[in-house]
Copies of this chain bind each other. A is one copy, B any other.
Amino acid sequence: MILAEKRMSKSELQKTLKSFFPNLGEESLDAFMKHASYLKSTKGTKLISEGKRHRYFYLILKGSVKSYYSKESREVCTWFAFKNEVIGTITTYEGLPSKETIELLEDSELIKFNIEKIKELTHTDLSISHLMNVIIIEHTLYLEERLYQLQFMTSKKRYKVLYKSTPEIFQEVSLTDIASYLGVTRETLSRIRSK
């Protein structure tokens, strides 16, 4: 459920965006800001739903989200994101129906950006074009790493890597979701953990 969708004070929003996107010049930032708005929302809210077209991508100010596919009434997680991360789906960015659902794991505060408007800006504003480029490339590097892990590592190894790289994840995310993310069943993850 969406709690509030107020406009942050202009100066507050500007300060926030400036700190996240320091490479945007004054004018680019102003243009960018026009299509950004503050959003506070409760655990379980779906920012993006599988099979639907959406208009927004998000920046997480506070809170956390999971992204998952549905498979025969079961959820299979593809990624998690936390504070200070930019999130969305590449299909949504392309104007296509999303393949994934993005759902809040806890009450969260976000900034949402209108994709169409921002994309329009990329046609005239080089620094914004680059910013979007960088965001997408970061996502792409992440996908490559994930593919690498799924193809090469045993489930034990994937668990260890996750545990070392982001131990915080185990505070926020249920073991059921983590198991699906690692590509094993709950039971198998439980057994991996107990050794």
Chain A residues with CB under 8 Å of chain B are 69, 71, 76, 78, 90-91, 93-94, 99, 122-124, 126, 129-130, 132-133, 136-137, 139-141, 143-144, 146-148, 150-152, 183
Contacts of A123 in B (CB 8 A): 126, 130
A90 near B141: Cβ-Cβ < 8 Å: yes
B143 near A143: Cβ-Cβ < 8 Å: yes
A126-B123, A140-B90, A143-B143 known; A99+B133 contact, CB < 8 A: no
Q: How far is the CA of A137 from the CA of B140 in the complex (A)?
A: 8
Looking at A146, A147, A152, the one whose CB has the most chain B CB atoms below 10 A away is: A147
B139 near A140: Cβ-Cβ < 8 Å: yes
Neighbour of A126 across the interface among B78, B91, B93, B129, CB < 8 A = B129
The smallest C-beta distance from A106 to any residue of chain B, in angstroms, reads: 24
In the assembled complex, 10 residue pairs joining A and B whose CB atoms fall closer than 8 Å, in A order, are A71-B152, A76-B152, A91-B144, A99-B144, A122-B133, A123-B130, A139-B140, A140-B140, A143-B144, A150-B150
